[in-house]
Amino acid sequence: LRVICTVLSLILMICFPQRWIIAIILYVSSFVGDLFDGIAARKFDQCSLFGGLLDMVTDRCSTTGLLCALSHEHTERPILVLLFTMLIILDISSHWSQMYFTSSFKQHHKSAEGNQNSFALVRWYYSYYYFFGYCCVGTEFTYVAIYILAKVTALDQYETVRMGCEYFLMISIPACITKQIVNVSQLCSACHAVAAYDAEQKNK
């Protein structure tokens, strides 16, 4: 259901931009579904490597799709297109490296065991659920708010919505920036751990 909502939302954002309100509802529904998926998996002890992989792939595809839609909305501003492109590259590379590193040791990418050799910031990020949630939710809703802001500004309508998005961004942007710092740390941490393991194996 999450995948269907995400795909439909991106189709509407890019191919039928006049349906942007429905697109946002579908995208947010998909994101909220992700939160409940994780809670249910932990509550019923259904966590697995495959579940972690599916969760990671779905999250990365959703975020990438939204950032592509944002680039589509700001084609006249190359600096923003470059920013969104770099965010896509960092998001995918850091999470892929984290998944590769932890899966190599047959651990879940969010588990304490899988991150015991990670940098302190990465361990803290995955250990403290509220900090993790603030960063993830804040980042996604930063992108959503920027998308809505682009729409209401172009239409010169929904003044209350525009002001609400601007105030919301004051809260969510720090979370988004923090998430990017974590992503850089996660990328470096995973690469360092894999390189250290390679060196250990060669020196045996």
Q: Which residues are catalytic?
A: 59
CB neighbours (10 Å) of residue 109?
22
Residue position matching structure tokens 């700001």: 74
Nearest to residue 178, comparing CAs of 118, 135, 132, 143?
Answer: 135
Identity at 71, one-letter amino acid code? S
Residue in the structure block whose two tokens are 């939160």: 35
The DSSP code for 18 is: G
Interatomic CA distance for residues 55 and 112, integer angstroms: 18
Secondary structure (H, E, C), 135-157: HHHHHHHHHHHHHHHHHHHHHCC
Which pair of tokens denotes residue 127? 């250990």
